[in-house]
Each structure stands twice: as structure tokens, then as C-alpha cells.
Amino acid sequence: MFILLAISLLLFTPFVMLILRLVQRYKIIHSVYAYSWLIALAGSLAAWLLVLLARPRQVSLISLVNWRPVTYFLDSPKLLVDPISWSFALALATLVLAVILTVPIRQQGVNWNAWASSLALAGFGLPAVLAGNPLTLMLSWAAIDILEIAILLVQVRESKVHVQTLTAFTARAGGLGLLLWADVAARSTGNGISFTADASVSVVPAHLSLFLLIAAGLRLGVLPLHLPYLQEPPMRRGLGTSLRLVPAAASLVLLARTAYAGVPEAWMLALLVLIGLSALYGAILWFAAADELSGRPFWILGITAFAVASAVCGIPEASLAWAWACIFSGGLLFLLSVRHRNLLPLPLFGLLGFIGLPFTPAWGGMQLYTSLPSIFLIPVFVLAHALLVSGYIRHAVRPEPMPESSQRWLWVLYPFGLVLLPVLQMALFIGTMFFPGLAWQIFRQSSDTGLLTTPGEYATLPLLTWTGGAISLGLAALFLWIMYRRRLNAEFSPHLPRRLVQISQKFFSLRWFYELLGISLRVLVRFVRQLTAILEGEGGILWVLVLLALLVALLLRGGQL
């Protein structure tokens, strides 16, 4: 019941803000900004508290509607509240609350449309991460995609951004279609796909898990590698962060579900090579970005590649750790619009969320290194992780102009909104590691998954799991030292020539493929036009007879020339 109330609040609050805006047009209320922000704050805070209170002491399956007749509708939309889905729901609720709390300090962020859009995105994001079956997930994906494209087409007037938006919508629609096909294929064998609350039991058919992973990877831009948003739209920090992280969370939850099944061993190495290239490409351009906002799509690409790789290797706790890092650590940096020396510990807490040192939230993600099928893949992922870390530090210490407003209450809400993200991430990690009963069996021991159940079992982890974060941190320190040693401009790559970065961006973004495809289509069009001109000429009938004679001769010879 708490979950349904939270979703209702996030979707109902924007309508209240719209009514307030209409009332303001009749001069009944003069300061629509103050009232709109207070309504948005009340709605996001109430939704966050409701999600927090919905902590699952036992698994809950909530039926939203029962579609009839069952002959045509085998499934109805359902929400599953279990440890995995609840952690994602809490992440999204915390993110939208942090967005609203950090708004007042950014005077240029006064826009009730942006706040209402962030709340609506979170309102559609919660059913996606809480989806109890593929049908609910597909409906939520479609709602998020439609809302995102509507926001970008309405609020951004640049035609280039519109083209990128439509490209992104097409790619995500492809992921939705792939999930639909996998669900239909599973039902044709008599066993449908459903999401279970027991981490030790997988209800995803092994032969279809590959397609589910590709569906999630396609929506994240990892499998196959594509970046429709090569340039970030000129969106504000709050709404722009919601537009990037909410759809990512809606796809990451599918990885956490599918990771228990893994993928067929024959496909594992090839997939990990492609994922490793995606992680390295995203990490390089994240490190080379001028600031954290322009590098936001590369951060999501790089960090989610680790989650996809963990799911391919069948390590659900690692996939979950990288997913948390994407939302919590990324959201903290993207909302950090003020670089005051007293606020410097906040991005350091965000850094701890994905650095992978022992007893930090992403420590479980280090198990990816020891599960890779080839030792040659380890340096690729370690280097990508080091570049993500160094880029995070570089953007966190970047100077930022101080806001003109100096009201004290702003300096209370702003850090409080930011600190919520790393605190909740650490709380989730502590609950899952040190209090298995409080963690509600996320890390249950199973002969199929080999998950950890007690803190003492972490002592038996391989050495690379203990030292992987330290190695990445050491490499990150080396990259930063080289950057400041050479004193390169922030617009250039800190460790690679600018030309090499441009070449890698053009190659990995698959623009060369689309250009080659365009050339092929133009050649085909010219060929068809030339053939049409020949057939429509004076000798057209003669050519038709010749082609018909060749076809008859080929059929008489049984298709052999």
C-alpha cells in the first residue's frame, strides 16, 4: 500500500502544480515559484518516506489490475516488492528528493515544468523497477520513453537535439521489442518469464537470458555500443539528471533480475569483449569531458557496462553494486552545482560509492575481475574503472562560480539533499553485508549462484577482489598527476592526444557504420533508378523477356547455373 501511495503522489503532484500555474494566470497568486517548489518538495518527501516505510519484511506481489478474459491476457500488471526492487525504488525516490532539495540554490533553475517533469519521471520509474513481470516492465518502459521524448521535444528547440532524441527513442524501442519477443518465445514453450523474490531461484529460461541482457544493454547503449546523445541537451542539472538516471535505473533492474541466470558459455567471451570496449570508450570520454554534465552520457555508458558485464558473468550482487553506483554516485556529482571547500567531503563520499575498496558499497562489484573468462580482459576493465575514478575526481574538484544568494536556509537544504545519496547507498551496503537478516536475503548462499551469506565469507575472496579498488585508485592518481604535470587545457584529453580521442569517438560511436549504411543505400537507389530507366526505355520489353528466359532456365536446372 505504501508503494502505491508513493507512485500516486509522484504522478499526482505535477497535476497540482499545473493547477497552481493556471491559478497564477488569473493573478490570484503572485509568487508561483515558492508555492510550486513547496508542493514539489512535499510530494517528493512524502513519496520518499512512503518508499522507506515499504521496506519488505516479506515478499509482496501487488496486482494493479486484473485483465479479462484470461484467454487473451495471460498476465496482468503486477508490482513485486522484494529486496532488489525496493533498493531501486529507494534510489529513485532519493534521487528525485535530492533534485528538489538542491533546486533553490541554483537561481537559474527556477522552472516549475522541470520539477513537475522530474516527479513524473520518478512516478513512472517506480513501476519499472518494481515490475513483477515483463508486461509491467514493458508498459513502464514505454511510458518513460514517451514522457522523455515529450519533455525534450517541448523544452528544447534545437533540431539537432530532436534528431538525437528520436534516435534514442528508436534504440530503446528496439530493446522493448526484444524483451517482448523473449517473453513470447518463453510462453511458446509453456514457461513464461517472471521475476522472483528468491535470489537463489531463477525463473528466467537459460536460453533466453541472452536476449534479456541484450535488451537491457540496448537501452543502456552498451550492447551494441551506441551513443545517440553524442552531445548533452542544454537541460538543467535537476531535470537533466532525472532524464538520464531514471531510464537507466529502469533498465538496470532487468540486469539484476537476469544475472542469476547468466548467459550461455559460448557467448560469454564475445559479449565481454564488446562490453569491455564499451566500458573503456565511455571511461575515456568521461575523463576527457570538459565538465560532468557534458560527460554525463559517457559516465552512464562506462559504469553500466560494468553492471552488464557482471550480469553476463552471473554475479547478481556485483551487478546490483554497479547499478547503485550509477544512480547514487552519479546523481551526487551531477547535482553538485556549488564547489565550496566545506562541501568537498560530499563528492568524496560519492567516490567511495563506486571505487571498490574493501568495505565500501562497490566492493562486491570487484568480484567481476575474478569471474572474467580471459585474463586479458582484466586490464581492460581495470583501466576503464581507473579512468572513471580519475574523471570523477577531476570533475568534482573543478571550480564553479558561487551563487549570488547567501540565505542560510539554502546552505542547509542543499548539502542535506546531496548527502542523502551517499548515506542511503552506504546504508544499503551495510544492511546487505553485515546484517543478512536485515538485508532480506539478497546474498543468500546457493549452489547455483555461489553468493555470500555472512561477513566472514568475504575473507575467502580472491586477492584481486580485495586489491582491485586500490589498483584502480593508484592508476587514477597516476592519470591525474600526468594531467596536472603537463598542465593541459580542460577541453583536451588529459592523457591522450585530442586527435586520438576524436578518432576513438567516431569509431566507437558507430557513426562510420551509419555512414557506410547511407552510402550503400545511395548506391542501391542509383542502381534501382538506372534499372528502372532501362526497363522503361525503348528496349524495356526486350530486357524483360531476356530476364524471364533466364529465370525459366534457372528453374528448369534446379537452381544450378
Give domain status of residue 440, yes or no: no
Q: What percent of the chain has pLDDT over 70?
A: 74
- Domain identity same for 317 and 195: yes
Whether 412 has a pLDDT exceeding 90, the answer reads: no
Give the Cα-Cα-Cα angle 307, 332, 112 (nearest 5 degrees). 115
Q: Are residues 526 and 502 in the same domain?
A: no
Rg (CA), the chain: 26
3-state secondary structure at position 79: strand
- The answer as to whether 146 is a domain residue is yes
Asked if 533 and 393 sit in the same domain, the reply is no
Query: How many Cβ atoms sit within 10 Å of the Cβ of residue 209?
Result: 25
Say what the pLDDT of residue 351 is: 93
Q: Which has the closest alpha carbon to 331: 228, 216, 422, 221?
A: 422
The confidence score (pLDDT) of residue 27 equals 59
Question: DSSP letter at 131?
Answer: B
Question: What CA–CA distance (Å, rounded) separates 1 from 183?
Answer: 28
Distance CA 191, CA 183 (A): 9
Within a domain: 84 = yes
Q: 63: part of which helix (H) or strand (E)? A: strand 60-63
Residues 69, 233 contacting (CB under 8 angstroms) = no
At which residue does the C-alpha cell 504522478 appear? Answer: 11
Instruction: Answer whether 258's CB lies under 8 Å from 311's CB.
Output: yes
Q: How far is CA 10 from the centre of its chain?
A: 20
Q: Which of 11-15, 268-272, 286-290, 543-547 shows the lowest mean pLDDT across its residues? A: 543-547
Report yes or no on 35 lying in a domain: yes
* pLDDT of 357 higher than 60: yes
Give the pLDDT confidence score for residue 161 in this predicted structure. 64
- Whether the upstream peptide bond of residue 228 has omega within 30° of 0, thus cis, is no
Among residues 203, 312, 318, which one has the least CA distance to residue 267? 312
Rounded to whole angstroms, the Cα distance separating 39 from 45 reads 10
Using the predicted structure, report yes or no on whether residue 503 has a pLDDT greater than 90.
no
pLDDT given at position 405: 56
First to last CA, the chain: 71
**DSSP per position, 460-498:** GS-HHHHHHHHHHHHHHHHHHHHHHHHT--TTS-SSS-H
Q: Range with the lowest mean pLDDT among 23-32, 186-195, 528-537?
A: 23-32
C-alpha span between 161 and 154 (Å, rounded): 11
Sign for the pseudo-dihedral over CA of 427, 453, 462, 202: negative
C-beta neighbour count of 49 within 10 angstroms: 15
Within a domain: 13: yes
- 420 and 297 together in one domain: yes
Q: Are residues 472 and 548 in the same domain?
A: no
Which residues are paired to 131 by β-bridges?
Answer: 79
pLDDT at 455 over 90: no
Whether 122 and 225 map to the same domain: the answer is yes
Q: How far apart are alpha carbons 501 and 493 in whole angstroms? A: 7
Question: How far apart, in whole angstroms, are the C-alpha atoms of residue 19 and residue 151?
Answer: 19
Query: How many domains does the structure of the chain reveal?
Result: 2
Q: Where residue 447 falls among pLDDT bands split at 50, 70, 90?
A: very low
Range of lowest pLDDT (300-314, 362-376, 547-561): 547-561
* Spatial contact of 149 and 69, defined as CB atoms under 8 Å apart: no
Say if residue 473 is in the same domain as residue 537.
no
Same structural domain, 504 and 525: no
> What is the domain range of residue 549?
514-556
User: Residue 255 and residue 309: Cα distance in Å, rounded?
Assistant: 10
Burial code (b: 16+ CB inside 10 Å, e: under 16) for 405-431 equals eeeeebbebbbebbbbbbebbbebbeb
Is residue 55 predicted with pLDDT exceeding 90? no
Is residue 496 domain-shared with residue 549, that is, in the same domain?
no
Which residue in 167, 180, 182, 80 sits closest to 130, CA to CA?
Answer: 80
- 418: closest CA among 323, 324, 346? 346
- Please report whether residue 267 resides in a domain: yes
Query: Could you give the 3-state DSSP secondary structure of residue 207?
Result: coil
| Mean of pLDDT over the chain | 79
Q: Is residue 487 part of a domain?
A: yes
- Answer yes or no: do 247 and 232 share one domain: yes
Cα maximum dimension of the chain:
90
Q: Which three cell numbers stand for residue 524?
A: 542501391
Q: Which cell numbers in the block locate residue 309?
A: 558485464
The pLDDT assigned to 493 comes to 45
Q: What is the C-alpha separation between 160 and 349, in angstroms, rounded?
A: 36
pLDDT for res 42:
93
pLDDT-derived band of residue 201, with 50, 70 and 90 as boundaries?
very low
Q: Within 13 A of 134's CA, how many CA atoms are on the CB side?
A: 27
| Same domain (yes/no): 418, 522 | no
Q: Nearest to residue 259, comparing CAs of 82, 455, 451?
A: 451
Total residues found in the chain within this entry = 561
Whether residue 154 is found in the same domain as residue 287: yes
CA-CA distance, 167 to 160, in Å (whole number)? 11
In this prediction, residue 443 has a pLDDT band, given cuts at 50, 70 and 90, of very low
Tens of pLDDT, residues 504-520: 566 665 555 556 656 77
CA dist 16 and 18 (Å) reads 5
User: Looking at the domain assignment, is residue 524 inside a domain?
Assistant: yes
pLDDT value at residue 514: 54
Residue of 326 and 450 predicted with greater confidence: 326
